[in-house]
Each structure stands twice: as structure tokens, then as C-alpha cells.
Amino acid sequence: MITVVGNLKGGTGKSTVAFNLAVWLAKQGKKTALFDLDPQNTFKDVLDVRLEEGYEPCLSSAGDLIALESLAKKPSAEVVIDVSIADKAAMLAAIKRADRVVIPCAPSQADIWSTQKFLSMIETEVGDKKIFAFINRADTHHMVVETQEAEEALDMLKGVKRLPVRLYQRTAYRRSFSEGLAVFELNAYDKAAQEVLTLAALLYPQYV
């Protein structure tokens, strides 16, 4: 299955989510391919650290659509693709090929608007697609109402299903990338790990 993690907006956690999902899939014993269609090449750095440290499973990432085409023909492989508007043509080609799109959305009105624009871009340029969204970088303070409001706004958007999970703003993500580890590999019992594991289970219930 091909899953694109995308959003028009920068910094919403696309690479973080794609990396964590890919490590989780590989740990479940699935043949996993990670694609980086963002010119920033975020995965190269984090996967280099992972390789240097010798962490298993070892993952590599590819950045070309030709490799994606050949993998797409193998239904057994799990493909996770990080896309960016910086390469719009590649982003749309990947979405066309994908079985579904997952949108991490930060809890702000600007992010809701940009999610709305992303959805209409997909509808216009690709057509019908299975699309999921969830709130990433939710505020941990219980008095902050933006997360709840953003979820309600996501529920109002057409053509997208909101996943019942929140990834809160947690310091574990910073450490995770610099150490080349998914957050659940740092400490499987902390909150960030539990949230990412919930997200993975919602997206891949067949592997839990």
C-alpha cells in the first residue's frame, strides 16, 4: 500500500510522521520503502545517523518516481512517501499513485485553511482519493482550546476523514531525529511514543 504524508504547509510534521510510520512498519516485519520527494532530503540525514549507529531495522530512502513506479507494482510492499509543495509535480504524481493521503495538521486556522486548499488541489488535479487528517503539535495545556476547535474545523471539511488521535507537542521528537530513532524506540512508554503507536495502529490495523 502506498501512503503519502503531505500538506501544503511547512513544518506540520510530514517528515516526522513519515519517518515514524516507516520505522514502525519495518519493525512489524513489513517490507518498507521510504520515499523522500522533498528537495530538503530530510530522511537522508536521519537515516545516515541511524546507519552510523547501527540501529535495526536499517532503512533507506529513495527520491525518484521511477523507483516508486516499480515498487507500486508490488502490492506486498508498504510505501511511505514524504512530499512537499517545493516539488509540486512530484507531489501530485505521488498522490496519483498513492492509495491514500495522510495530512498532519497543526492546530491553527492558517493550517485549516491550508488543509482546505490541499484538499481542493487534490480534488482538482488528481480526483477522488482516500484522505485522512489528524492534529499534530497539539498544545499540552488543557486550557488551550485551539486543538478542539481545529478538530471541529477538520470535521467540517469535505473529502477527508479525521483520525481519532492527537500527536501533542513533545520534546521527544527533537531527540528522536537527532538520534536517528523513532520516538517509540527512544522510550516505548512515554506519551509521544504512545500517540505515534496509536496513529500507526489506526492507519495499519492489519499489522497490529
Among 3, 7, 12, 15, the residue binding Mg ion under the rule CB under 5 A is 15
CB 153 within 8 A of CB 113: no
Question: Which position among 3, 8, 14, 25 is part of the footprint of ligand ATP (CB under 6 A)?
Answer: 14
User: Which of 173, 182, 184, 193 is in the footprint of ligand ATP by CB under 6 A?
Assistant: 173
132-161 mask for ligand ATP (x: CB under 6 A)?
----xx------------------------
Range in contact with Mg ion (rule: CB under 5 A) among 35-43, 90-98, 147-155, 193-201: 35-43
Q: Which of 128, 63, 72, 112 is nearest to 91 (CA)?
A: 63
Q: Which is nearer to ligand ATP, 73 or 101 (CB)?
A: 101
Mapping DSSP onto H, E and C, the string for 8-51 reads: CCCCCCHHHHHHHHHHHHHHCCCCEEEEECCCCCHHHHHHHHHH
# of chain residues touching Mg ion (CB under 5 A): 3
β-pair partners for 4: 81, 101
Q: How far is the CB of 44 from ligand ATP (least distance, A)?
A: 13
d(CA 95, CA 131): 10
Residues 6+ apart with CB under 8 A from 9: 106, 110, 111, 114, 115
Shortest CB 18 distance to ligand ATP, Å: 8
Of 5-13, 58-66, 72-80, 111-119, the window that binds ligand ATP (rule: CB under 6 A) is 5-13
Residue 22, all three cell numbers: 516507516
Taking CB under 6 A as the rule, does residue 84 contact ligand ATP? yes
